[in-house]
């Protein structure tokens, strides 16, 4: 039993170290089905959906999201990783603001490539283990499992926060059929701080940890497929045309965090130089610029809609 336990500990340690070697800032492991907090997070999701706070993001209703084992038969553990997307060059155009997560290379591709490399390592080190990669689009309670893995805690702005990296990181996961040693989940360190709630200009954080999507600037500039943006949102864009970082910018945990100055994190030149002339770009020009970017989810006509709405109320 001692040998089995020691092997489990060593294997878990090596897997997390491999994740750091591949370029992730943080890594942790959770056992499946997880602790009682997963049930609490699932119940919170149900309440959020029942209030229709997800607006038109209907994919959030997928039942599979509540059962990680539906993604991989025989799943026993999950490796959670965080990729730090902030570099010294990640700054905002003063008038045409783009969310920091979308300024550089598409993080889905960056994270997937690194996770695949970890998968190759798993094939060599644990040949009897099956695994499955999940990045963003998979029906998974991502932040809940990252919290369960000890990467951080879910803040009042609903983003995951880590003591060393704040909330400036995106998540990735590998579900495994191997029984591994779980890490201890974080406890919330938000305390009495309500800066994210107080500073949101549209009051999208309707209560701690709860975001009402149709009041969120990021939702309307990225997900809203209507031809117009609601007046209340328009009046509060204040330069934002793709995403919004206000609730994270004011978070005390996001001060003095380390940079990740890799080529993958270098902001695209066209984003840094956005101006009024971008409204004259045709669809081909937009599509060329958006290629390889997380922001390709925003269609060319949406970019023009967002910019016009921002300029009208700036």
> In the β-sheet with 169-176, what is the strand arrangement from edge to edge?
26-31, 77-84, 169-176, 131-134
Global model pTM greater than 0.85: yes
Chain position carrying tokens 């016009």: 308
Mean pLDDT of 278-298: 93
Q: Tell me the pLDDT band of 312, cut-offs 50, 70 and 90.
A: confident
Do residues 181 and 142 make contact, with C-beta atoms less than 8 angstroms apart? no
Output phi, psi for 19, to 5 deg: -65, -40
Distance, in Å, from the CA atom of 113 to the CA atom of 91, rounded to the nearest integer, reads 25
The pLDDT of residue 220 is above 70: yes
Task: Please write the tens of the pLDDT for every residue from 158-205.
Answer: 999 999 999 999 999 999 999 999 999 988 999 999 999 999 999 999
Q: For the chain, which residues make up each domain, given as ranges?
A: 2-86+105-176, 197-312
Residues forming the active site: 136
The pLDDT of residue 208 is above 60: yes
The pLDDT of residue 85 is above 90: yes
> Sign of the C-alpha dihedral, residues 22, 28, 33, 39?
negative
Task: Please write the tens of the pLDDT for every residue from 238-252.
Answer: 999 999 999 999 999
């Amino acid at each position: 039993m001692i040998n089995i336990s020691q092997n489990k500990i060593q294997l878990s340690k090596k897997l997390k170290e491999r994740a750091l070697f591949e370029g992730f800032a943080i890594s942790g492991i959770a056992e499946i089905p997880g602790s009682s907090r997963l049930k609490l997070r699932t119940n919170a999701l149900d309440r959020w959906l029942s209030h229709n706070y997800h607006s038109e993001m209907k994919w959030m209703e997928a039942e599979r999201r509540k059962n990680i084992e539906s993604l991989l038969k025989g799943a026993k553990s999950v490796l959670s990783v965080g990729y730090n997307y902030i570099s010294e060059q990640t700054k905002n155009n003063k008038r045409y603001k783009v969310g920091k997560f979308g300024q550089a290379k598409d993080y889905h591709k960056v994270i997937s490539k690194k996770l695949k490399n970890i998968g190759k390592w798993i094939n060599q080190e644990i040949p009897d283990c099956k695994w499955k990669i999940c990045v963003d689009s998979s029906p998974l309670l991502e932040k809940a499992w990252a919290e369960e893995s000890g990467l951080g805690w879910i803040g009042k702005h609903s983003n995951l926060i880590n003591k060393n990296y704040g909330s400036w990181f995106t998540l990735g996961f590998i579900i495994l059929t191997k029984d591994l040693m779980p890490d201890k989940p974080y406890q919330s360190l938000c305390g009495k701080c309500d800066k994210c709630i107080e500073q949101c200009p549209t009051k999208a954080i309707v209560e701690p940890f709860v975001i009402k999507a149709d009041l969120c600037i990021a939702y309307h500039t990225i997900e809203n497929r209507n031809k117009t943006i609601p007046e209340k949102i328009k009046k509060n864009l204040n330069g934002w045309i793709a995403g919004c970082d206000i609730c994270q910018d004011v978070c005390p945990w996001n001060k003095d965090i380390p940079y990740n100055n890799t080529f993958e994190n270098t902001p695209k030149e066209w984003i840094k130089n956005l101006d009024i002339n971008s409204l004259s770009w045709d669809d081909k020009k937009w599509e060329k610029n958006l290629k390889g970017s997380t922001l390709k989810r925003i269609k060319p006509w949406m970019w023009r809609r967002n910019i016009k709405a921002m300029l009208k109320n700036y």
